[in-house]
Amino acid sequence: MFRSEWFKIFHNKQLLVGFILVALLPAIYGVIFIGSMWNPYGKIDHLPVAIVNLDQPVSNVKVGDQLVTGLKKTKALDYHFVSQKTADKGLKNGDYFMTMVLPKTLSKQVTELGTSYAKPINLSYTLSTGRNYVASKMVTSAAGAIQVQLNQTITTSAMTALLTKIEQSQAEQAKVLSSGIPYAEYQAFAGPTPQLPSAKSLIDPVKLVRHDISPVPNNGTAITPYMLSVSLWTGAIVLTNLFSLRKFKRRGNAFDMWFSKFGVLIPAGILQGLGILFALDRVWHFHQKEILATILILFLTSLVYLSLIGLLNMLFNQFGTVIALVFMFLQLSVSAGTYPLKLTSPFYQTVHPWVPMTYAVDGLRHTISIGGLPTNDVLVLSGFAIIFTILIIVMYAFKGNKFVVQPTQ
C-alpha cells in the first residue's frame, strides 16, 4: 500500500505538483511573512513624523531652531518640518505617525528658568494610535528621546542666557562704580544682580504632553482589523470548498449559475463576520466607533474574498485552494496589519495597494478606532467585488458546460 501511494503521486503530474506545493507551503509562508518583519526596528528612521516649530527667538536664545538643527543631524526618524495645518492634515490622513509642536514661547520660557515667574515647559505631541498601534509605540519612544535632546539644548541655552545677563550686569556695575555713584544707590535703582539658578530648576525642565486623535484601549482592539481580515479569508476558503463553484446538476444561464452559488455563500459570509463581532463583544466586551460601517466593511470583504477564492478554484480546481493559501501569506505580509508599511522592503510596499486585504484592514481600522466611513476602502473593495463577480459570470457564460456534473459521476 505504501508503494502504491507513492506510485500514484509520481505517475500523476497534477498530484505531484500539488504534493510539492503543499510540502513547500510552510517554507513559502516563512519566507514571505517573516521577510516582511525582518528588521523593522532597524528602519525606524523611515517613520515619517512632523515637527512644527512655532518658537519665537528671544535675543540670542533660539531653542526651537537649535532643536530643529539637531534633529536634522540625528535623522533618528523621517522628520518633516512643516506648518501646523500640514501636520494636522498629514496625521489625519496617515502621512505622519506623530506630530510634535515646539511652542511659540519656548525660548522665552527658557530665559525665565530659575525665576519666580517661570512657567512649566510643555512639549505637545499627537498620535493616531488607531492608524497603527506598533508605530505609535515606536514614535512615543522617539518623543521621549526628543524630550531628552530638548532638555540638553535648554540647559545649555538657559545657562548661556543667564551668564549673558550676569556679564551685562557686572559690566554695568563696573561702569557705575567707575563713575563714582555709590553701589548701594545703584543696587536700589537697578535691582539685585542676576544669580545662577539652582541645578534642580535646570534638570528636565521639559514635560511631554500626549494627545491621541484615535486612541486604542488595548492591543487586542489594535490587532482586531488584521485578525478579522484573516479570519474572513480562512472562512472563505472553507466555504468555497464546501459549496464548490465547479459543480452543477444542469446548465443554466451565467447569472443564474452565479446566483445559485453566491445566494448561499454571501449569507454564510455575512454570518461569519457577524459571528466574529458577536463573539468579541460577548467574550472581550469589544466595541467599535462605527458599528454599521464595520458591518459594511465585513460584508464587502467577505464578498471579495469569496469571489476571488471561488474564481481561483474555478480556474485551477483543487490547486485554487493552494494558490489562495499562498496569496493569503502574501496579503498577511503586505497589508500593514502589524508593523507600518514604511518599515518593510520596497517589494512589500509595491504590492501593498494591489491586494484586497490592504483595504479590509484599513477600512476596519477606521470603523473600529479612527471613526468615520472609509470611503476609499469601500470603493476599492466594491471595485474588487465587481471585477471578480464579472469574471465568474463570464466563465459560466463561456465554460458553463464544463461545470455540469453528469449523473454517472
User: Per residue in 87-133, pLDDT tens?
Assistant: 999 999 999 999 999 999 998 988 887 777 778 889 999 999 999 99
Phi, psi of 38 (to 5 degrees): -65, -45
Q: Tell me, what's the pLDDT at 409?
A: 45
Lowest mean pLDDT among 35-44, 80-89, 225-234, 285-294: 35-44
CB of 355 closer than 8 Å to CB of 330: yes
3-state secondary structure of 347: helix
Q: Tell me, what's the pLDDT at 61?
A: 83
Distance of alpha carbon 376 from its chain centroid, rounded? Answer: 16
Q: Residue 58: left if φ>0, alpha if ψ -120 to 50, beta else—which one? A: beta
| 338 Cβ contact list (under 8 Å, min separation 6) | 37, 134, 223, 226
Burial class (CB in 10 A: 0-12, 13-18, 19+), 155: middle
Identity (one letter) of the amino acid at 166? I
Q: Tell me, what's the pLDDT at 10?
A: 73
| 194 Cβ contact list (under 8 Å, min separation 6) | 162, 165, 166, 169
CB of 244 closer than 8 Å to CB of 264: no
DSSP H helical ranges for 179-317 = 183-190, 219-242, 254-284, 291-316
First to last CA, the chain: 26
CB of 162 closer than 8 Å to CB of 112: no
Higher pLDDT among residues 363 and 205, named by residue = 363
Q: Tell me, what's the pLDDT at 205?
A: 84
CB of 90 closer than 8 Å to CB of 134: no
3-state secondary structure of 212: strand
Residue-wise pLDDT for 268-320, tens only, equals 999 999 999 999 999 999 989 999 999 999 999 999 999 999 999 999 988 89
From 287, 269, 264, 289, select the one nearest 229 (Cα to Cα). Answer: 269
Is residue 187 predicted with pLDDT exceeding 70? no
CB of 325 closer than 8 Å to CB of 238: no
- Segment 160-179 mean pLDDT: 73
Is residue 333 predicted with pLDDT exceeding 60? yes
Residue-wise pLDDT for 208-223, tens only, equals 999 999 999 999 999 9
Is residue 24 predicted with pLDDT exceeding 70? yes
Model confidence at 33, pLDDT cuts 50, 70, 90, reads confident
pTM above 0.75, yes or no: yes
**Partners of 50 in beta bridges:** 80, 99
Identity (one letter) of the amino acid at 290? E
- Segment 382-395 mean pLDDT: 96
Phi, psi of 270 (to 5 degrees): -65, -40
Cα 246 to Cα 304: distance, rounded to the nearest angstrom? 18
Q: Tell me, what's the pLDDT at 363?
A: 97
Residue-wise pLDDT for 139-154, tens only, equals 998 899 888 888 887 7
DSSP 34: I
Three-class DSSP labels, 101-155: EECCCHHHHHHCCCCCCCCCEEEEEEECCCCCHHHHHHHHHHHHHHHHHHHHHHH
Burial class (CB in 10 A: 0-12, 13-18, 19+), 310: buried
Distance of alpha carbon 266 from its chain centroid, rounded? Answer: 30
CB of 238 closer than 8 Å to CB of 279: no
Is residue 199 predicted with pLDDT exceeding 60? no
**Kind and range of the H or E run holding 98:** strand 98-102
**Kind and range of the H or E run holding 122:** strand 121-127
- Segment 60-70 mean pLDDT: 88
Q: Tell me, what's the pLDDT at 1?
A: 66
Phi, psi of 356 (to 5 degrees): -65, -30
Burial class (CB in 10 A: 0-12, 13-18, 19+), 208: middle
Burial class (CB in 10 A: 0-12, 13-18, 19+), 395: buried
Copy the grid coordinates of residue 67.
532643536
